[in-house]
Amino acid sequence: MDAQTKVSRAITQLAFKKETCFYGSILLSVGVRRNDAIPTMCTDGTSVDWNWDFTDSLTPDEVKGVLLHEAMHIVYKHMLRLGSRQHMLWNIATDYVINQHVIGMGLPLPDGALINPIFNGMNAEKVYEQLLENAVQVNVMPQWGTFEPPSGSEADMKQVEASIDQKIAVAAASARARGHLPDEVKSLIARMEKASVDLYDVLKRSIGGDQPEDLTFARPHRRSYWETGVITPSVRKDSVGNLIVGIDTSGSVSANELSKFLYIMNALADDLMPESVTVITCDTQIKNVTRYDRGEEITTVKVGGRGGTNCQPVFDLIKKENMPVDHMIYLTDMEIWDYPKHGPDYPVTWVSCDIDAKPAPFGQTTYLT
């Protein structure tokens, strides 16, 4: 059996078998092509390239294992999650995660597969952190089955991600119809469903409701202008009262997440015209309290501390100072070790910057993605 036949049969068998049909569908939806310019097998998220000599040296089952490995790189978007991490170390971390899934499905992998039981149950980010902290463990390099970040602009990256999401949705529907969606994929689908929710719309509904009173060009809609450059009317409605915004400054909220959150808050202030917005930053204790009156832009957040995470001081301050509050929004990673025992008598919307975090014990929890 030559290399091309091994690849074709492997994809067909992966798609036919119930336990692997999800990943087989992914492989059928991307280009799987011969490319002897690469040493083994590789993906950039849009295609899977394979080398003839490498593939020809493998058994048919090993070809299935490596193709399944590459499909998992695509499904988990490892090439898009690289960020500022070291490419090779990130590749090693992701291999440790997905290889345990391949082995768990009963497929063999070629010699040199990165497998270590100490990483079982960890995500790639956690494995990467451990590898950084314990560099002595990095004594092997990936021998095959790598990934490369797709080239292009940020818009190109978003297009690749959207294409992968579409392929995942189609593959998941097919796998459900066959009665088998892998457990690790179920959590991925749940994450995608959370990420599809528009935080701005969630917050707008929870604070101000769905029905606008009127439209006016007296104050152009800032969010629409920022995003499209088109001047559109803003909503004119009665004030939604006084908002309090708690921000976790424990170090888990990144500068990019904070910037996105501030943009959304300013857009909400434009649309809903609250009497005031009071921003309270806190790690294990209150760091800063800044009040913005109606119409004032929230230009920055004073971040201090970067310690642990405790939201109790924020609720205590509101009660102690008898601060006017009609709605509260709290941005955090949800790794809070001391929630109030009882929710307050005003509505609270938690905005988690960790899409896998459990909801808060009271109020509404949504996600910053």
Instruction: Supply the pLDDT for residue 63.
Output: 97
DSSP 357: P
DSSP label at residue 287 = E
Give CA–CA dist 119/102, Å, rounded. Answer: 14
Q: What is the pLDDT of residue 284?
A: 84
Q: Is 30 left (phi over 0), alpha (psi -120 to 50) or beta?
A: beta
Other C-beta atoms lying within 10 Å of the C-beta of residue 88: 12
pLDDT block averages, 10 residues each, the chain of length 369: 95 93 94 95 95 97 97 94 89 94 94 91 88 67 82 82 86 85 78 67 74 51 54 57 89 74 82 90 89 85 66 94 94 84 92 84 87
**CA distance linking residue 185 with residue 191, whole number of Å:** 10
Give the pLDDT score at 38: 95
Q: Output the pLDDT for position 211.
A: 42
| pLDDT value of residue 179 | 83
What residues are paired with 286 via a beta bridge? Answer: 282
CA 325 to chain centre: 31
Q: Go through the domains of the chain in sequence order and give each one's CATH number.
A: 3-195 (no CATH), 199-367 (3.40.50)
Rounded to two decimals, the pTM is 0.59
User: Whose structure tokens read 């899409």?
Assistant: 355
